[in-house]
Amino acid sequence: MKRAGLILIIAIVFIFGIFGNMRWKRNFKNFKAETVGLNRVVTVYDYNGGVVRQWEGRILVDGNGERTKITTSDAKTFIIDGGIVIIEEKQ
């Protein structure tokens, strides 16, 4: 009986390891992005295509399209109203 239970547990862990791996990675990455930020390059452009400002490093980004809040690793917060914000994740 104990052996059947152990085999069942190993099979469940194996199945979750194969099929749940990408979901777990994505959830962990989302948690990390919302708590400590990701290593990113954030560039703000004006509507004519000129670069207004650029940040690089571990950055938290929160926004809804019209307003973007950027918090850098040195705890400085910038709020961008308007403009075009491009966020690139560095590996």
Domains of the chain, by residue range, sit at 1-35, 37-91
Evaluate whether 73 touches 45 at the Cβ level (below 8 Å): no
Q: Which residues of 45-66 are buried (b: 16+ CB within 10 A; e: fewer)?
A: eeeeeeeeeebeeebbbeeeee
Mean pLDDT of the 81-88 span: 88
Window from 7-16, 24-33, 56-65, 78-87 with minimum mean pLDDT: 24-33
Evaluate whether 82 touches 44 at the Cβ level (below 8 Å): no
Q: State the pTM of this model.
A: 0.65
CATH number of 37-91: 2.30.30
pLDDT digits (tens, 9 = 90+) for 4-55: 888 888 888 777 766 667 777 777 777 777 777 778 999 999 989 999 999 9
